[in-house]
Amino acid sequence: MVRVVAAGHVNWDVTLRVDDLPEPDGEAEIVSQLRSGGGSAANVAVALAGFDVETGLVGSVGDDEHGLLAQRELQDAGVGLDGLRVVDGLETSVKYLVVDGDGEVMVLGNDGANEAVGPEDVDPDVVAGCDHLHLTSQRPATADRLAELADDAGATVSFDPGRRLGDRDFSAALDRTDVLFVNDNEAEAVLDEEAAYPGSDFSDRVVVVKHGSEGATVHTPSASYSHPGFDIEPVDTTGAGDAFAAGFVAVLLSDDDHERALEFANACGALAAQHEGARTAPTRPEVRSFLDGQF
């Protein structure tokens, strides 16, 4: 049995690093390119497996070469694939990530087989034995079904809905969420127009607000903690948020210390942003070494 199940998108990424973004009718030089697995749920699953947390994945790929490559990477990382659906006749979602000289990312892509998992496709046994479910962007009905199964199994639920939060009705899954990850803009969508935690519908749960390069804040029913982040030179921020979420969940599962989880998560995001690609989450020893060097 796996301890954590991550659910959501599984992509194949093509990362193009450019010297600068071109003007209309202009041209930019591709400094480097990298092909690797991606997708928020898959990234979190790989990161957690790298922290020696037994992790499974619920998601979908097509029956094509990119799907085979994505599966191979996940298997090599030690991620359980009992919940991965391979869909005949559909292409695996491919994302083209354009990274500029400042490490900022622009994404071009197709959905492909990304959301082929409907609520009726979820195997209850995949979730029944886990301690924790981590949701990322996916069909709202599927997210709700997964959260319901986790709730029935006595597992905790975290949710990082991402940029589509304002466009999709995740209210049912959010009602079952114990730990919510949002950025500053997303916080306004789920808390209130001023992003205030006290008095909101989420004041009885844990809300982690990511501030980009300015660190993050975690609100809990008993206290709030802030961490300023770390002063780094970002190379590629593609997988930094997923590394952050994985780090937070890993610490929370081991000792339920929100303040330490926040520091560890910020370190994971900072280290991930210093490398190209989406699968750049560090190991526990790398995080400890990084944190030791800060003091």
Which carries the bigger pLDDT value, residue 189 or residue 221?
A: 221
pLDDT, one tens digit per residue, over 127-185 is 999 999 999 999 999 999 999 999 999 999 999 998 878 789 999 999 999 999 999 88
Which pLDDT does position 198 carry in this prediction? 64
CA neighbor of 12 nearest in space, from 86, 55, 80, 71: 71
Print the SS3 string covering 98-113.
EECCCCCEEEEECCCC
Report the DSSP beta bridge partners of residue 226.
217
Looking up tokens 């590394």, which residue turns up?
243
Average pLDDT over all residues of the chain: 91
Which pLDDT does position 197 carry in this prediction? 65
Does residue 200 surpass a pLDDT of 70? no
pLDDT, one tens digit per residue, over 262-271 is 999 999 999 9
Which pLDDT does position 196 carry in this prediction? 62
Residues with Cβ < 8 Å from 56, sequence gap 6 or more?
Answer: 2, 4, 5, 6, 45, 79, 80, 81, 82, 83, 126, 130
CA neighbor of 242 nearest in space, from 46, 37, 51, 55: 46
64 flagged as catalytic: no
CATH fold of 4-284: UDP-N-acetylmuramoyl-L-alanine:D-glutamate ligase (3.40.1190)
Residue count of the chain:
295
CA neighbor of 242 nearest in space, from 282, 191, 294: 282
Does residue 201 surpass a pLDDT of 80? no
Which pLDDT does position 19 carry in this prediction? 86
Q: Which of 242, 256, 257, 292 is catalytic?
A: 242
Averaged pLDDT for residues 255-278: 92
pTM of the model: 0.93
Q: List the chain domain ranges.
A: 4-284
| Cα atoms in the Cβ-side hemisphere of radius 13 Å centred on 230 | 25
3 state DSSP class of 196: coil
Instruction: List the single range of 1-15, 79-93, 278-292 with lowest mean pLDDT.
Output: 278-292
pLDDT, one tens digit per residue, over 203-232 is 889 999 999 889 999 999 999 999 999 988
* pLDDT > 90 fraction of the chain, expressed in percent and rounded: 69
Paired sense of beta strands 55-62 and 132-136, if any: unpaired
Does residue 70 surpass a pLDDT of 60? yes
Does residue 110 surpass a pLDDT of 70? yes
Paired sense of beta strands 224-227 and 206-210, if any: unpaired
Are 13 and 29 within 8 A, CB to CB?
Answer: no
Q: What are the structure tokens assigned to 173, written together?
A: 């899954």
CA distance 246 to 242: 6
